Structure 1
Amino acid sequence: MNPNDEHSHHQHADDGAGSQEFEAGESHDHTDIDETSTHKLALVAGINFVGFVVELAGGLLFGSVALISDAFHMLFDMLAYVMAFSASYAAERFDRGDEWSYGLHRLEPVAAFLNGILLVPMVGYIVWEAYKRFLEPASINAELTLVIATGGLLVNIGSVFVLQGGEMSLNERGAFYHLLGDAGGSVAVIVSTLAVSVLDMPVADPLAAVLIGLLVLWSAGKVLVESTSIFLQHSPMSMATLRDEVTNIDAVASVEDIHVWQVCSQLTVATVQVQTTSNSADEQQQLRATVHETLADAGINHITVEIIGPSNVQSTEHRQHSH
């Protein structure tokens, strides 16, 4: 079943006499989650585009390199949001058959990784502009710069408010980290502008730009680590803990094999092979249900369980947990 479609609990049992399928009543449309994420990211992108235009114009007009740096921070963040919601939009509407086992959900970590990469050259630009301003300090229009920087901070706060509520996807978390950097940048511009106007410290403007660059680098690192972990199929949870939880289930002799990985931040997949002490088909079926629920309670969405009886007659089950 394509994860883009509506999900249900399914149980397929092979008891030596054929296959049986059982469907429980609980279901959930994953597309609802994706569409909510897409709409949030689109709205944040629009808000930040307005903030970018205002801050860039103000920085150029009033001579603040910190404000210009914060404006470009907003620009790259806006591009990041566009890439993020474009990936989410494509994933939620893609349905090309069984050849694409998980649709286009992998676009989410791809977009997140590219967003992180885009931030790196921006840091170089910010540091370079700050370096030049350290060498040749310039005066700025402190009053108007302060007004625009405060407006930028309000834009960031409004964007954070849009993203708040419920569990955030990887792209939403990436956007959230961007916004934290943006908010910190706006605060840095406000503080530096006050330092320039009140304390007559022109060096405060490029210093604030460097601080913004460090915030950007931090947010880029967070997104890159998370998306790379998904690419390399690093388990998002403790394998030892999962193995212990399954091993402690009654009638489980041993856990022969277990794998957990993520397709995207909202779709975790697991396969597990369990050796049981029981030859009873009914008991093996009950064991499948217990193993499935144990893994589902741990936050895994798509689960395949294989049961091996004492006589080495294998029984398999493939079920999806709602997410």
Structure 2
Amino acid sequence: MNQLSDSAFGAGHDHIFLGAAHEENERRTWMVIVLCSAMMVAEIVGGSLFGSLALVADGLHMSTHAGAMLIAALAYTYARRHAADRRFVFGTGKLGDLAGFTSAIVLAMIAVLIGYEAVSRFFSPVPIHFGQAIPIAVLGLLVNLASVWLLSGNHHGHHHGHGHDHAHDHEDEHDHDDAQMAASRDHNIRSAYVHVIADAAVSVLAIIGLLLARAFGWIWMDPLAGVIGALVIANWSWGLMRDTGGILLDMNLDKRMAENVRHVIEDHGDAVLDLHIWRVGPGHMSAIVSVATGQLQRNAGFYHAVLRQFKELSHVTVEVNPTRVGA
């Protein structure tokens, strides 16, 4: 008779699979929103009072990034408040990946708009007010650098090991390490980080383009900087969209880990009939394992104990199918 058992190693049975730095990243994101919002209001009000269209335009541009930060912050807050809500079968740990995917789409739209505006200026150059544009670009860069500093704490994720070792070549080992880092990475804070670092990169390119345009009369340097910035943002957007989309579709991020889980069970003389491993939150993986065994004394608890060496596995479901020895 089959035996089915479910266990959450690291989080108990409450299915809370939030990242280890969830609350810290939530605070960081709200701090960046306050900073960007203050800058946005100051630029719009100051531009309106002093008649600077460039200042108003940059303030409106800053509002798009404040909006993107708001998506990330609300995702953190909602995921935390509803972490124990039983309507979410595997918790709210993947809400940050959904927010990251949404931000990636917003980044792609920003890249398209910047690229369109830059290309149009190649064909229809507009007068550049260097006295206003350069200080605004520098001010925007300083705000973005402050935002980068606030968000730079935990967006890279952490590495976790496990206790089972097999011979693999260097490339497989590197891929495995990358997969483990990806499994623990908080894509919500990463998306916020990409937004501000992209804006900082665009500010740097804009400053360089403006300085060269003013010094040598190369007006085309300004739109060229815009095109380069759009391509850089589009590349970062695609990477974020690819990574978060894979998680939302429950892709197997770490094939090496699946192989090791299979080896651990089969090294005990049993057979793995079915195996699925996927990410349910930053640093949290879930597994469903179907095992065929001729050892009648081995129940689901035996395999849960065996799999505890995989620190990344926070939730494991085991199905045991007893078979007659020699069958």
Q: TM-score, normalised by structure 1?
A: 0.74
Which residue is equivalent to 1:290?
306
Q: Distance in 1 between matches of 2:93 and 2:137?
A: 37
Partner of 1:45: 33
Kept in 1, the 8 Å contact 2:17–2:282? The answer is no
Judge conservation of contact 2:98–2:244 (CA < 8 Å) in 1: yes
Name the amino acid aligned to 1:61.
S
CA contact (8 A) 1:251 1:277 kept: no
Offset at residue 271 of structure 1 (A): 1.1
- Of the candidates 252, 272, 283, which is equivalent to residue 235 of structure 1? 252
1:24 counterpart residue number: none
2:313 pairs, out of 278, 287, 300, with: 300
Please give the per-residue CA displacement for 1:152-192, whole angstroms capped at 9, x wherever unaligned. 22222221221222435111111122222112101101101
Corresponding residue SS for 1:7: coil
Q: Which residue of 2 aligns with 1:162?
A: 150
Q: List alignment gaps of at least 5 residues for structure 1.
A: 11-27, 313-323
Amino acid at match of 2:52: L
Query: Mapping of 1:185-224 within 5 angstroms?
Result: 185-224=202-241
Cα distance, 1:185–1:36 mapped onto 2, change above 3 Å: same
Paired residue for 1:132? 120
In 1, Cα distance between equivalents of 2:307 and 2:100: 33
Q: How far is 1:30 from its partner?
A: 4.4
Quickly say closer, same or farther: Cα 1:86–1:241, change in 2 above 3 A.
closer
Contact kept? 2:213, 2:221, Cα under 8 Å: yes
More strand by share: 1
Deviations along 1:1-53, whole A, 9 cap, x unmatched? 9x9xx92389xxxxxxxxxxxxxxxxx99487332221111112222334455
Number of residue pairs matched by the alignment:
285
Is 1:263 the counterpart of 2:275 in the alignment? Answer: no
Contact 1:252 1:275 in 2 (8 A): no
Q: 1:210 to 1:230 in 2, by over 3 A?
A: same
Q: Quote the sequence identity (%).
A: 25
Q: Shift in Å at residue 258 of structure 1?
A: 0.9
1-side partners of 2:133 and 2:218: how far apart?
15
Give the structure, 1 or 2, with the largest relative contact order (CA under 8 Å, sep 6 or more). Answer: 2
Deviations 1:221-270 (A, max 9, x none): 122212221222111211x5423443245424222111112234454221
3-state DSSP of counterpart to 2:243 = helix
Contact 2:100 2:190 (8 Å CA) reproduced? no
Q: Which moved more, 1:189-198 or 1:70-79?
A: 70-79
What is the aligned partner in structure 1 of residue 63 from structure 2?
Answer: 75
Give the aligned residue type for 2:314: N
User: Of 254, 279, 290, which residue of structure 2 is paired with 1:273?
Assistant: 290
User: How is 1:22-61 mapped onto 2 (pairs within 5 angstroms)?
Assistant: 30=18, 33-52=21-40, 61=52
CA contact under 8 A between 1:62 and 1:145: conserved in structure 2? no
